[in-house]
Structure 1
Amino acid sequence: MFHVAALGELLIDFTPVGLSNAKNPIFEQNPGGAPANVLALVSKLGKKTAFLGMVGQDQFGLFLKEVLEKNNINVSGLKISEKFQTTLAFVHLDKSGDRTFSFYRNLGADMMLNASDVNYEVIKEAKIFHFGSVSMTEEPVRAASIKAAMFATENGSIISFDPNYRPLLWSSVEEAKKIIGIGVKLADILKVSEEELELITGKIDVAVGADMLFREGVKVVLVTLGKRGCYYKYTGGEGYVDGYAVNAIDTTGAGDAFLGAFLYQICDMKMDELCGLNKNDFKRIIDFSNAAGALATTRTGAIPALPSIDEIHNIRLTR
């Protein structure tokens, strides 16, 4: 049994770590890919996880497989391609630690996962199935992602979806909205940023946009607001939970840490139990998730920056 299984991209984030003597940027090789980041925190906090996806038979792909194994993430659903290379992403940080990406992904291995490559036995064993839209930008992995999510639904898994919108990976905004909309329709739990909420709903007002998604069938809507925390909406209510003030140096993976912390806390719940929580208990789940997301910004990288359970508990004591 797996508490969370996730399908999607597994890649290398090259993160800036300073300048060389010649004043040129130095980049550090870090494991990346939002679904893997989510799993890494769930696993670090003590639950069983499994990854489904594809990397290349190259030094980067083998490094990523090793990282998953070291983080106690099951790799029986990880395919190694001899034909396609592992995707690379270069992270660019501004003065506040906010990041943009440059992708080297022309027929990257993560894009070439076919529906027939997916280990459906892993999904059968998953209480929660998580995926994002980066694995929906191109075929054949788009069809594989949708089929896997539908299979998970049929097998009774809770479906978690993160649009994780990366404009450079889509041919147009219109295509992105259309395909992301498919993921939204499949989702029980939806984690979005303010920008993604506006993209999907056309609404700037967070409460209005979240209500639209809730009325369309999403059972839990989580709108991450950076250092301002999170807006949530579920059957038991809606509202804001404040974030944590930290010295942010790299926001890469912060949203993944937030979502990983959220999924960790609901691993042993059924969907109706989650929706039936009273508002105070639900807000405590969000607060824990906010703490994890904030702490992930205080170190560089994504998986290397994920906090421990003790770090999360300690920062919450500062409230």
Structure 2
Amino acid sequence: MNIEEKVSFEEKQYDLLTIGEILVDMISKDFSEDFSNDEYVKKFGGSPANIVINTKRLGLNSIVASSVGYDGFGDFLVSYLQNQGVDISLITRTTYPTSMVVVTRSKGTPIPIFYRGADYEIEYTQKLEEAIKNSKIMHFSTWPLSREKSRKVVEKGIEAAKKSGTLIGFDPNYHKDLWDMDVDGVSYIKSIIKYVDFIKPSEDDAERIFGKDTPENQIKKFIELGAKLVVMTLGKDGVIVADKNKMQRFSTLATEVQDTTGAGDAFWSGFYTGIVKGRSIQEAVKVGLAASAFKLRYVGAISPMPKYEDLIKEFNV
């Protein structure tokens, strides 16, 4: 995979399929780093679902596979997706409570508290396998990898994607607190990098996996583990994109920051949209930066993302 080239896709039913968590984000009304706030606002959340909603608004045909509880929060999440025009046929319901994350508004990296339940009860079905085979890109994060049941779903999904020529995107957003105590999450993440086509670590993700180092050295470590394309997001310092032969830095397009929650998901959304729309990897990175800059103007993981044509016109990318 070459950062200067476009990605060729077969004609398939879905542009993007994501596997993973749908959950409720409880976000503080005010900026704080120590959870001293008294008021929190309920927001739709879960990285895979955020990406599907964003890409739907940008013009892709996207679908999410996930699990929520038979409770009010589960109803809220499913209804939200339906109102956004998202296909909910790959979402299962369970007696476990809907998962939730409590987080404070931040201009840096938000520090979350996790309350998990239904998100890892996702099931691998024949319908999911057919959807994977009929998707141009399959995306997942470390959330489903952190528990055995959902981890097996992703593993089967990777196998199906490889057989059908579906490209694989991986968000290595490792958080130790999410993983079962008897599983070495870092070692597992390192072991599957060779199977994916796109990987987008943040600086914090890379540090949690490899320890402290420069962004350039961190990217080399991902490449050495078999990553074909690495995009490292650097917050206000932009991104670095790299294949095994070349590394290139891009500046941020953000001019206003209301809340960083979901900025990485917005980047993924713009990046995938750019690729599917026929842009080179380099150009798709710019679309990702535009989508992220747009999202940063709003509180919560989801913003009123515009159509692809309007986004690239506004940010001149």
TM-score class, shorter-chain normalisation, is 0.7 to 0.9
Quote the residue 1:101 is aligned against.
112
Distance 1:55 1:182, change over 3 A: farther
The answer to whether the 8 A contact 1:241-1:283 is kept is: no
Quote the residue 2:295 is aligned against.
296
- In structure 2, stretches of 5+ residues that fail to align are 1-12
- In structure 1, stretches of 5+ residues that fail to align are 275-280
Distance 2:127 2:175 in 1: 24
By how many angstroms is 1:41 displaced? 1.3
The answer to whether the 8 A contact 1:296-1:307 is kept is: no
The number of residue pairs the alignment matches comes to 301
Q: Normalized against structure 1, the TM-score is what?
A: 0.86
By how many angstroms is 1:74 displaced? 1.7
2:124 pairs, out of 88, 92, 115, with 115
1:166 pairs, out of 170, 175, 186, with 175
The structure with the greater share of residues assigned to strand is: 1
CA-to-partner distance for each residue in 1:136-183, whole Å, 9 max, x for gaps? 111211111221122112211000000112232135698120222244
Distance 2:51 2:214 in 1: 27
Quote the residue 2:103 is aligned against.
91
Quote the residue 2:9 is aligned against.
none
The answer to whether the 8 A contact 1:87-1:109 is kept is: yes
Distance 1:117 1:15 in 2: 36
Q: What SS does the corresponding residue of 2:253 show, helix, strand or coil?
A: coil
Q: CA RMSD in A?
A: 2.5
CA-to-partner distance for each residue in 1:259-305, whole Å, 9 max, x for gaps? 11101111256xxxx8xxxxxx5433212211211221211111235
1:140 matched to 2:149: yes
1:214 matched to 2:223: yes
Distance 2:122 2:262 in 1: 23
Q: Which amino acid aligns with 1:8?
A: G
1:63 pairs, out of 76, 86, 98, with 76
Percent identity (aligned)? 29
Q: What SS does the corresponding residue of 1:248 show, helix, strand or coil?
A: coil
Distance 1:165 1:306, change over 3 A: farther
1:266 pairs, out of 275, 280, 285, with 275
Quote the residue 2:7 is aligned against.
none
Question: Which one scores higher on RCO, CA 8 angstroms, separation ≥ 6?
Answer: 2
The answer to whether the 8 A contact 1:161-1:191 is kept is: yes
